[in-house]
Chain A
Amino acid sequence: MFFDSVKFWNTFYIITGVTVFLFLFVDFVVIRKILKKPSKRDLASNLIVIGWFIAIVVHLHASLGNFFFFQTLFDKMLGISVLALATTGIVLIFKTSITTNFAQGMLATFGVYVAGIVSMRWAQNTGISSVFQLAMISMIAGAIVAFLMGVAIDVFIIRKSKYITSIGKQMITMGLVLVISGIIPVIFGIDAISVPRISSRPISFEWIGWNFTVSEHALYGMYISVGLLVVLFTALRFTKWGLGVRATASNEIVAGMMGVNTKLITALSWGIAGALGGVAAFMLAQGGTLSAGMMVSTQVNGFMAAILGGFSSFIGPIVGAFMIPILSNLIFYFSPLWQNAIVYLLVLLIVLAKPLGLFGKRIAKKV
Chain B
Amino acid sequence: MNSLSLIRQKRIGQLKSLIHHPYFGFLVVGALLLFMQGLRAAGVNISITVMRTFGLTMIYVIIGLGFSILLGYAGLASLGTAGFVGIGTYLVGYLTTKMGFPIYIIIIISILGAILIGLIIGFISLRIEGMYLAIITLGLSEILNEVFKNAVEFTNGTNGLNMSTIVFFGTFEVINIETIFTALVFILVLVMVITFNIMKSPTGRAMLAMKNSESAAQAMGVSILKYRLMAFMIATVYAVVGGVLYMTYFGFSIPSSWGLAFSLNILAAIIVGGSRSIYGVLLGTFMIFGLDMAVFQTINVSPTQNASVAAFIARFPEHTEQLSEFFRSLNGAIPTMSYIFNGVLIIIVIMFYPGGLYQLVITLKAKISKLISKVMKKVKVYRYGEDR
Contact = CB atoms under 8 A, between A and B. Distances in A.
Nearest to B349: A175
Given A168-B350, A340-B146, A341-B143, A100 B134 contact: yes
A235 B147 CA distance: 43
A186 B337 CA distance: 8
19 contacts: A157-B347, A164-B351, A167-B131, A167-B134, A171-B77, A171-B271, A177-B264, A178-B342, A182-B338, A182-B339, A186-B333, A186-B336, A190-B333, A304-B135, A340-B142, A340-B143, A341-B143, A351-B128, A355-B128
Contacts of B264: 174, 177-178
A181 B261 CA distance: 10
Interface string B131-157: 110111011101100110010000000
B307 interface: no
A166 B146 contact: no
B77 A179 contact: no
4 interchain residue pairs of minimum CB distance = A182-B339, A178-B343, A175-B346, A179-B343
A100 B131 contact: yes
B127 A355 contact: yes
Interface of A: 99-100, 157, 160-161, 164, 166-168, 170-172, 174-186, 189-191, 292, 296, 300, 303-304, 307, 311, 337-338, 340-341, 344-345, 347-348, 351-352, 355, 367
Contacts of A355: 127-129, 132
Most chain A CB within 10 A, of B271, B338, B344, B350, is at: B350
B279 to A, nearest CB: 21
Contacts of B344: 175, 179
B354 interface: yes
A311 B260 CA distance: 22
B267 interface: yes
Contacts of A300: 138-139, 142, 260
Contacts of B77: 167, 170-171
A344 B144 CA distance: 11
Given A166-B130, A175-B350, A345-B143, 16 more contacts: A100-B135, A164-B354, A167-B130, A170-B77, A175-B343, A175-B346, A178-B343, A182-B338, A184-B336, A189-B333, A300-B142, A303-B138, A340-B142, A344-B146, A351-B136, A352-B124
Contact of A367 (B135, B139, B215, B259): B215
Given A177-B264, A185-B332, A186-B340, A344 B350 contact: no
Contacts of B338: 182
A352 B142 contact: no
A182 B260 contact: no
A307 B135 contact: yes
Nearest to B127: A355
B354 A177 contact: no
Contacts of B132: 100, 307, 311, 351, 355
A293 B288 CA distance: 21
Nearest to A161: B351
B329 A182 contact: no
Interface in B174-198: none
A345 B141 CA distance: 11
B135 A185 contact: no
Contacts of A303: 135, 138-139
Contact of B146 (A161, A170, A311, A338): A338
A182 B131 contact: no
Given A168-B350, A171-B267, A177-B343, A182 B337 contact: yes
Contacts of B332: 185, 189-190
B278 interface: no
Interface in B54-112: 75, 77
B268 A178 contact: yes
Contact of B139 (A160, A304, A337): A304
Given A304-B139, A337-B150, A367-B215, A172 B260 contact: no
Contacts of B347: 157, 172, 175-176, 179
A178 B215 contact: no
Contact of B260 (A175, A183, A296, A337): A296
A76 to B, nearest CB: 19
B329 A190 contact: yes
Nearest to A168: B350
A340 B150 CA distance: 11
Given A171-B350, A172-B347, A296-B260, A347 B139 contact: yes
A292 B134 CA distance: 22
Contacts of A352: 124, 127-128
A99 B215 contact: no
Contacts of B333: 185-186, 189-190
B273 to A, nearest CB: 14
A100 B129 CA distance: 13
A81 to B, nearest CB: 22
Contacts of A174: 264, 267-268, 346
Contacts of A176: 343, 347
Contacts of B354: 164, 168
Given A172-B347, A337-B150, A183 B267 contact: no
Contacts of A311: 132
